[in-house]
Amino acid sequence: MSFVEYGDTIKDGDTAIVFLGHESMFPVKVQHGTVTQTKYGVIRHSTDLIGKKYGSKVTCSKGGWVFILHPTPELWTMNLPHRTQILYSTDISIITMMLELKPGSIVCESGTGSGSLSHAVIRTVAPTGHLYTVEFHQQRAEKAREEFREHGVEHLVTVTNQDVCKNGFGVSNIADAVFLDIPSPWEAIGHAKSALKAEGGRICSFSPCIEQVQRTCLAMEECGFTEINTLEILLRVYNVRTISLQIPDLGKATEDNSSIGFDSSNPSNQGSLSANLQQGSVQFKSGVPLREMVGHTGYLTFATKS
């Protein structure tokens, strides 16, 4: 099993996604002799998982069933253990596009955090590219290194435990793109410039506060970056509902009432007129936005090394 190469069958040691529903799923490490508890009953790894095909429908001990899915960066983003706040698919998609990532790209990242963006970048630059990711926190760096090894992508990523603002990325003039997700990105702009290739490299900085963006943009200008722009990506989800609307009366009822001497100004006749205008309704499907939505996540500032 690898996050960048699809495998047909579930093997001992794989990371798989147990899918109970669109709002309920979780990762599990497949191990011989281990069981996993769900609300539908027990899943026995030895008999229910190992050797079965990914995507199989597995019946639990209580008679309920789940699907076992092959892991992808998208599924991992929704199910990973949170060690830090993470980037989600809305921001990740624009980052990979605006940084112009493709197979073979060399990318520098700081900080690694929970590895949400890291997995997406690795999948994008595989099989010949490489990710150099820097994490200040030692335990988080060690855990990320362990996860990359378990997910079969350790040959595509190098994890370094150091302060990027003081020590940089450990590489020079080779990166096609740099991504910063740290509290003070303006302190790392100089190191980012040193890591980027001689000309045309792209940089992105993610910051939740506009004051951070302002200082980062000033640092980018001082270091000679061009095409500096900041984006905020907002996701608006729609629910499909069945709604009912009255059939409009285009005047026929009024004409009919007039022809028989119907006095609409008489209060006693108002109820009868209303009944005629509301003779029927029609139901149809409509997209309705959620009453509450996930709004601001952060600002994405992009620039190009000139």
- Phi and psi angles of residue 10, each rounded to the nearest 5 degrees, phi first: -80, 130
At 1 the pLDDT is 82
At 277 the pLDDT is 46
Hey, what domains does the chain have and what are their CATH numbers? 9-71 (3.10.330.20), 76-232+297-305 (3.40.50.150)
Low-confidence ranges of the chain (pLDDT < 50): 262, 272-273, 275-278
At 273 the pLDDT is 46
At 276 the pLDDT is 46
At 266 the pLDDT is 57
Predicted TM-score (pTM) of this structure: 0.84
Token code pair at residue 296:
């601001």
User: In one letter, which amino acid is 122?
Assistant: I
- Phi and psi angles of residue 18, each rounded to the nearest 5 degrees, phi first: -90, 115
At 280 the pLDDT is 78
Binding-site residue positions for S-adenosyl-L-methionine:
114-117, 135, 163, 181
At 16 the pLDDT is 97
Binding-site residue positions:
114-117, 135, 163, 181
Sheet holding 106-110, edge to edge: 157-161, 130-135, 106-110, 177-180, 202-207, 299-305, 225-231
- Phi and psi angles of residue 176, each rounded to the nearest 5 degrees, phi first: -85, -25
